[in-house]
Each structure stands twice: as C-alpha cells, then as structure tokens.
Structure 1
Amino acid sequence: MAQLNTVTIGLVIFATIIIALSYIRILWRRKTLPPGPFPMPFLGNALRLSTEGLMPSLIKMAEDYGPVYTVHFGSRPTVIVIGYQAVKEVLIDLGDIFLGRGTIPVFERFYNNSGLTQLNGEYWRQMRQFSLLTLKDFGMGRKTLEEPIQVEAHHLVDYFRKSNKQPINPSTTLSCASSNIIASVLVGRRYEYTDEKWMKILKDMRDSFEIISSPWGQMYDMFPNIMDYLPGHHRKMFDLLKELKEVVKENVKDHEDSLDPSCPRDYIDCFLIRMRQENVNSKTCFDKTNLVSTVFDMFLGGAETTSVTLHFGILHFIKFPEIQEKLREEIDQVIGRNREPKVEDRSQMPYMNAVIHEIQRISDVLPMGCIRSAIRDVTLRGYKIPKGMDVLPLLTTVLRDPSQFETPDRFNIKHFLDENGKFKKNNGFMPFAAGKRACIGEGLVRMQLFILFATILQKFTLKSVVDPKDLDISPTESGLENIPPSHKVIFIPRE
C-alpha cells in the first residue's frame, strides 16, 4: 500500500510539473503575441470555440481583442486576422513574409505533407512556377480553354433536358462537369455523367468535405494526435477520398506507360518529363509523390469548390426569379438564343458579371481561406510575429466587411454595379485569397462560371418545387467550406 501511495504521489507531482511548465510556456509566448483569450493547457481555447461554432466564435472574439488576435487550437497558437484592412496587410502588404503554408492537420494527412498546397520555400516556388506555366500552356485563363468549357456546357444542357421538367438535385452532376474541365487539362479526358464509379467518387468527395466542415472535422484540426485514435464520424473523411487518390495514381501510371516526351498531352505528361530531367538531382520536388498530391489537390479544388459555387448560384437563381429574368434578358440581347456564350461576351454583360461576383461573395465557399505562416520574424500592427507562427486570415470577414459592402449579409448586386449599371470592381472581393499564394485556378474558375451560368440560363428557366420565399439556401455546414443545402430544381427548356 505504501508503495502504491508513493507511485500516486509521484504521478501527481509529475502531472503538476507538466501543467506548470505548460503555463510557463503559454505565459512566455503571450508576452509578444497579439492578445487573445487565455488558453488552458493542452485544450487551448477549445471550450470557448465550441460553444457557438468555430466561425462565429472566431469572428465574435474580434469584438474583444481587435482584428488581430491569438487563439489556441489545442496547444497550437494561431494569429487570427479579421476584416479587409488587416487581411490585406497579411496577404498583400506583407505578402512576401506570410508565404509559408501553416498547419492544416486534415490536409497534411490528405496530401502526406506533399504537393503544391503543402510545400514551402524553394520547393513551393519551383512547383508553383512550373504549374502556372504548364497550366497556361494548356489554356488556363486563355481563350483556348473556352472550347472544353463549351463542350461541357453542351453536356449539361443535354442532361438537364433529359430530366423532362422533373425536379432533380444537380449537385453531383455539377461536380462532374467541373471535374471534367480540370480533367481536360490535368489528365486529358472527361467522365460521363452515367459513369457510376466516377459519380460515386464525386459524391464521396462532397461527403468528405461535409465532415471536414462539421464539428468533427474542426475537432480533428485542434487535436489530430488524439482524434487519430478515437472513434467517430471524423474517421470517414479520409476513407471517402481514398478512391479518388487511387484514380489519380492510375492516371499517372497510364501516362508513364504511354509517355511521348516530344508530345506532352497534359499536365501529368509535362510533370513526368520534368521528373526525367531532374532525375540526376536527388533534392528535387519533382517526384511521383508530389505529382500525385498536386493532381489530387487540383481535382479537389477544381471539382469541389467550383461546383459548390455553381450550386449556390443555381439556388440563388430560383430564390430570386426576378434576377433570373433580368439575366435572361441580357443574354438574349448580347448572345441571343442560339449562339453559344463566349468569354469575350462578359465585357458586354455587366449585370451577369455583377451577379456572378455577388454569388461568389455571398456563397463564401472557403470562409476560412488557407492558413499561412511567417517565413521570418515580422511585426504586424505592433505585435511581433515569430518565424513559423501560423496566421489565419479569415476570408469570410473580407467578403462580408461592411466597410467594403453596403449590405454584407444580404445578396445585393449593387455591390458590383455602379449607378449607371456598369460593372464596378470591389477591393473586398477576395474569394481566391490574394498575393503570391492565391489560388492558381482563378482564371479557369472565372471562365467556367460565366460560360456555364450563361449557357444554363440561355437554355432553361429554373424553378423551385417550393415557393421561393420559403426556400432556405443557407449553408448546412460552415467550416473549411460552406456546404450548400440539398434542394431539387426544375429545369424548364425555353421555347
């Protein structure tokens, strides 16, 4: 018994020392970091963050601590940046310093700490430069990519016509359309909407993002080392994406077997050719692991976020039929009923351009943006941010900043239209982030949204199965991604 008491006392003393050291470490960090709620050892600010949901909690904390403050996700301190002015400082004014990729446990496991999204330093610079140039060679942001988007628009029109005016949920079909456009650049192929295996992969991808954006996913990002061993819904989010990664690996293998270095067909071919050129260099980022992770990441970004924006857009069209009607009037006037929409039409269609921008703003597909880290010590608004510190600019607070948008929480096309009905830019429009680490697919996404929206509205009148006034189009989950609600839509061909 005496021996047991001695062991117990020893464990209590040991635990007390560990807790005391944790507090000392926290107090030392807080001396120079921006202010914030005092964290508990190991738990950080998890209890406070969980009461109202992660995003509302982070935004509300700015009322107490200002637009730049520190919060602890578990034991990991992170500087939160709120609002247009502060986010602009981080992404643009000090953009060359906040170029590092911060800690995202979910993505680190998805990509095995590899690929364009996760790389840092010189490897990231090489990979980004290569990817930008290669994607541009295959039409990214150029008129040459217009044709694959138009082809996909025709397939969408045919699919919606076959619904015979019956209510359908377009979610997975929109994902397939978006994935086909990025697939034409990455792997040189497209998938049919009747391809059950591919459609299941896309549905699994959506389900995975729902879990990531739920409290389960948020808990994983705070306590990854613990959640890896605990049962729960979070374990499914990784399994749901395994099949997509296997498809990417199969495509890479097929490309290796049929590669002709003198005639590259797509992004994978170009990467494989670069791998051969760099084969003598043992310290290169151009290897198969980074190839698989980068293509996997581009599929996720190209198929998921674009399709979510398309889905939110269609929901807004049926929620506001008067806007839909004005869009069709502009389409009939500029394009007509028969000619296929072109990117060059956008400059003559200020109303459509403004509506698409407002859909992107209010949909706020990636409200948290992507976390950054400082590549060297820096001072931000009087606070010392040490090298390696994670910094999270909340893009949702830019897209809904009242200093930039008159009615930030309400759909309002006038945010992008002047008093003469001309399109106007807005500095607060940052759905793709900003600076050197902004989304490389911005040009492609902008082309897709315009051509697909214009084609759908040229050919169909969109209606809801319920009264538009009763239609709730609020996100069902809001975390890493805003998840659109599931509503059925009636596609009525225009005579």
Structure 2
Amino acid sequence: MDLVMVLVLILTCLLLFSHWKQSSTRRKLPPGPTPLPIIGNIHQIDVTNVHQAFTNFSKIYGPVFTLYFGMKPTVVLHGYEAIKEALIGHGEEFSGRGKVPIFDMVLKGLGIAFSNGDAPKELKHFSLLTLRKLGVGKRSIENQIQEEAQFLVEELKKTNGSPYDPSFILSCAPCNVICSIIFQNRFEYNDQLFASLIEKLNTNTKILTSLWAQVCNMFPVLIDYCPGTHNTFYKNFTSIQSYLSAKIKEHEESLDATNPRDFIDYFLSKERQENHNQQSIYTRENLTVTLNDLFLGGTDTIKTTMRFALLLLLKYPHVAAKVQEEIDHVIGRQRSPCLQDRNQMPYTDAVIHEIQRFIDIAPNSLPHEVTCDVKFRNYLIPKVSLFLLYSSSLLVMLPGSQCGSGI
C-alpha cells in the first residue's frame, strides 16, 4: 500500500509540474486550445487529416496559434500569407534544420538532410557541384534517364495488360539512375540484392510516416526502451549503410583522383585533398550518410510522383488521351522523348506540373530550426525553435522540443 501511495504521489507531482510548465510557457505564446498534461493537444487532432485539423484551429485562433505535441509547445503558422512571410521575409532566421529523434538514432548529426551548422552547408554545396559535374540538371544525364525509362516500359509490357501493382518497378527506375550517378551501376529489376535494397528503402519510408514513428519523435525515451518498428528502421538503415560502405571500399581500391567516375570518386578525391585537416567534413561516415540521403530523397519522391501520375491519368482518361495525342504528334512511337521536346509539348508539360501541384508529395516537410530570436507578427519565437512546413501550415516548436514530420 505504501508503494502504491508513493507512485500515486510521484505521478501527481509529474502531472502538476507538467501543467505548471505548460501554463508558464503558454502565457508568452500565441493563443490556442488548452493542452492536457503529458499528451498536450494530440487528442484534438485527427491524425488522418492533420491539414483539416489545423484549418479548424485557425478559424478559431487566427493564422498564428499554439498547439502542444505531447509536452512540446508548437506555434502553427497557417495559410499562404503567414508561411510566405516566415520563409521569405525571415528566410535566414528560419533556415536551420531541426532534429528528429528517430533520425538522430541513426544519422548522428551527419549528412545533409538532418544536420546543422557550416559543415553541412559546405557538404551540400560540394554535393550540388558534384552532381552538376555528373550531369544532374543538364542534358548529359538525359541518355541515362532515357535508357532507364526504356527498361521501365519493357517491364510494364510484360504484364500484358493484366492488373498489376507497379510500385516496385517505379522505385527501381529512379533508384537505378541514382545508382549510376553514385557508383556507376544499374541493376536488373529481378536482381535480388537490388530488390532487397529497394524493399528496405520502401519499408523505412513507411515506418517514418507511421503513427508510431511520430509518437517516438514526440517521446524520444520510447526509442531506447520500447520495442517497435523504429528498430526495423535502424536495422534496415544499418544494412543499407553496410552495402554503401562496401561500394566505397571498392572505389577506394580503384580510385584515380585525376579521372573521377562518379559521386563516390569525387568525394574520395576530396577526402585525400583534405587529409591534413583534422576538422575535415570529408569523412567515410559522412559519405555513407550523404549517399543514403541521396537514395532516400530521390527514390521515394519520384516513385510517388509517377504512381500518382498513373492514377490521375486513369481517373481522367480525356486528359490522358490529349497527352497521348500530343506525344504521337511530336515524338511518335519510334523514339524516346528528350528535353528538347518539352517546348513543343505545352499540354503535356502543363499536365506534369498540375500533377506535381495536385498530389502535394511532401505535405509534412522536414523540421527546421530558427537560428536566432525572431519577432513574428508581434510574437517572439526563441532561437533554436523548430518548425515544420505543411502544405498550408508552418509549425514552430520551442527550444528543446523534438517532433517528427507530422503527428
């Protein structure tokens, strides 16, 4: 009985402390719904329709309001004008990258996507320059894309018009283009190693967007002490890193610094140039994480865009018919499309842009940090606050808060 009383007393103290902390913080923040201890406003948010939940809150509290994700206070900027003012009017202040616990577990602050400071900025600059040298954004990469597109078409033809889920091969195509840039390889779609790599990438993407992952990001203690899909994420990530490390080792053994073949060669050459610098960011660990960033960022986004494009063209057959008519007129059936065709195909170009606008491929953007104290619409957002950009909402968490991209 004494033990039960002690536990009840401890829990009561924790709840009172949580309520006091929330109350003292709320007095300095924009208005918002009253949070509950521990869970905050989670119970008031429909996780299946976050956007609508934010819209409903904005009708009550205005375009700038406060929510609590667990015990983490979050300022929400809702609507085009508020987001534009934050990202354009205060672009530098809102340019930091926020921390996501489930990523911190595996990335350790390395790479481009989830790191802060001058080092990742330099690494990002190097990566963009290197990708440009390798043809990304130029016509020189066109042949690789055309070749992979042909492999994709041939794979689709094998279905003979039968019902078929193209998700896997739609992942293979962009992943193969990325592989050719990173380590001069493309794989057959039935290659077991390649299939395993694709499966791990797809599984990790599903885990990151799951409710459990978001709960872990709000309550990081769960990552260390609870079983769950975050452990699968870690296992898959480690497996991908091991594969990339093996590729790096192969490149190191055949490296010709005067004639780099791909992204890994360029990075290893830069690493050799910086070998006298103890603070160099060009390390093997940074390379493997950066390669993973390229895989994750390039494969899933393009795959998802193509899947939605197919679905939308099926839903609107009259649009698909007009696109096909323009393709037949400008390109015909005997050759692959090229970048030069774009100017002669305004309807197809408009359809592609409308698909990208319509699907809203990343409504829950990556978290960012405010790099200094920012006064925004008469509210002070402290330095190192986090925010998330949604399709029509910008979330700003106070210092020390941690949250995933979504709920």
Query: What is the TM-score normalised by the length of structure 1?
Result: 0.74
Task: Letter of the 2:117 partner, please give it.
Answer: G
CA contact (8 A) 2:83 2:392 kept: no
- Counterpart of 1:32, as a letter, is K
Return closer, same or farther for 1:384/1:183 CA change in 2, 3 Å cut-off: same
Query: Cα deviation per residue 1:305-358 (whole Å; 9 max; x = unaligned)?
Result: 111111111111222211111001111222222232111221221211111112
Deviations 1:365-422 (A, max 9, x none): 2111111110000012221110011111212569xxxxxxxxxxxxxxxxxxxxxxxx
Indicate whether 1:211 and 2:207 are aligned. yes
Counterpart in 2 of 1:139? 135
Q: Aligned with 2:45: secondary structure?
A: helix
Q: What is the distance in 2 between the residues matched to 1:81 and 1:195? A: 46
Give secondary structure in 2 for the equivalent of 1:93: coil
Q: Is the 8 A contact 1:80 1:393 kept in 2?
A: no
CA 183–52 in structure 1, closer or farther in 2 if over 3 Å, else same: closer
Distance of 2:258 and 2:285 partners within structure 1: 24
Aligned to 2:216: 220
Shift of residue 12 of structure 1?
Answer: 5.3
Alignment of 1:66-145 (within 5 A): 66-145=62-141
Equivalent of 1:166, from 137, 141, 162?
162
Shift of 1:359: 1.2
Residues 67, 106 of structure 1: alpha-carbon distance in 2 compared, 3 angstrom cutoff? farther
Q: 1:197 to 1:149 in 2, by over 3 A?
A: same
Letter in 1 for 2:307: H
| Alignment CA distance shift 1:366-1:228 (3 Å) | farther
Q: 1:297 aligns with which of 286, 290, 293?
A: 293
In structure 1, how many angstroms separate the alpha carbons of the residues matched to 2:46 and 2:150? 45
Distance 2:393 2:9 in 1: 45
Aligned mates of 1:263, 1:228 — CA distance in 2: 45
Q: Which amino acid aligns with 1:28?
A: S
1:179 equivalent among 158, 175, 180: 175
**Corresponding position: 1:314 with 2:310:** yes
Output the CA distance in 1 between the equivalents of 2:370 and 2:166: 41
Shift of 1:129: 1.0
Residues 284/21 of structure 1: CA separation in 2 closer, same or farther (3 Å cut): farther
> Is 1:243 aligned to 2:239, yes or no?
yes
Q: Which residue of 2 aligns with 1:377?
A: 373
Report the Cα offset of residue 65 of structure 1.
Answer: 2.5
2:227 is the alignment partner of 1:231: yes
- Alpha-carbon distance in 2 for matches of 1:320, 1:53: 25
Instruction: Return the alpha-carbon distance in structure 1 between the equivalents of residues 327 and 238 of structure 2.
Output: 42
CA distance in structure 1 between the partners assigned to 2:48 and 2:158 by the alignment: 44
Give the gaps of 5 or more residues in structure 2: 395-403
**Residue by residue, what CA displacement relative to the aligned partner does 1:90-136 show, whole Å, maximum 9, x if unpaired?**
22221111111113223223423211011212112211111111111
CA distance in 1 between counterparts of 2:261 and 2:56 reads 50
| Partner amino acid, structure 1, of 2:203 | D
Letter in 1 for 2:285: T
Change (3 A) 1:9 1:196: closer
1:355 alignment counterpart: 351
Cα distance in 2 for residues equivalent to 1:110 and 1:346 = 41
Pick aligned residue for 1:189 from 181, 185, 192: 185
Structure-2 separation of matches of 1:12 and 1:161:
66
Give 1:39-78 correspondences, 5 Å limit: 39-49=35-45, 54-78=50-74
Q: How many Å separate the matches in 2 of 1:142 and 1:385? A: 41
Look up the SS of the partner of 2:301 in the other structure: helix
Residue 260 of structure 2: aligned partner = 264
- Counterpart Cα distance in 2 of 1:256 and 1:34: 54
For 1:115 and 1:255, locate their aligned partners in 2 and report how far apart those are by CA, in whole Å. 20
Q: 1:28 aligns with which of 24, 35, 39?
A: 24
Q: Given the alignment of the two structures, is residue 281 of structure 1 paired with residue 283 of structure 2, yes or no?
A: no
| Pairwise CA RMSD | 2.4
Secondary structure, aligned partner of 2:281: coil
Q: Distance in 1 between matches of 2:206 and 2:322?
A: 33
Gaps of 5+ in 1: 399-478, 482-495
Q: CA deviation at 1:53?
A: 5.1
The CA distance in 1 between the partners of 2:26 and 2:231, in whole Å, is: 34
CA–CA distance in structure 1, aligned partners of residues 392 and 329 of structure 2: 35
Partner of residue 321, structure 2: 325
Question: For each residue in 1:55-83, what CA deviation from the matched residue of structure 2 results, as whole angstroms up to 9, or x when unmatched?
Answer: 54344322323333232222223333322
User: How many residues were matched structurally?
Assistant: 397
Measured after TM superposition, the shift of residue 231 of structure 1 is 3.3
| TM-score normalised per structure 2 | 0.89
Structure 1 contact 178–302 (Cα < 8 Å) conserved:
yes
On the 8 A contact 1:259/1:269 being kept in 2, the answer is yes
Distance 2:291 2:391 in 1: 25
Does structure 2 conserve the Cα–Cα contact (< 8 Å) formed by 1:255 and 1:269?
Answer: yes
In structure 1, C-alpha distance between the alignment counterparts of 2:238 and 2:72, rounded to whole Å:
28
Identity of aligned residues (%): 38
Written as runs of structure 1 = structure 2, the 5 A alignment for 1:447-458 is none
Correspondence for 1:346? 342
Looking at structure 2, the residues matched to 352 and 9 of structure 1 have their Cα atoms a distance apart, in angstroms, of 70
Q: Secondary structure at the match of 1:337?
A: coil
Deviation at 1:9, TM superposition (A): 6.1
Taking the aligned partners of 2:63 and 2:178, their CA distance within structure 1 comes to 36
Match of 2:398 in 1: none
For residues 225-247 of structure 1, what are the alpha-carbon distances to aligned partners after superposition, in whole Å with 9 as ceiling and x for unaligned? 12542334454333344432222
1:24-55 deviations in Å (ceiling 9; x for gaps): 33233223333323333332222223565545
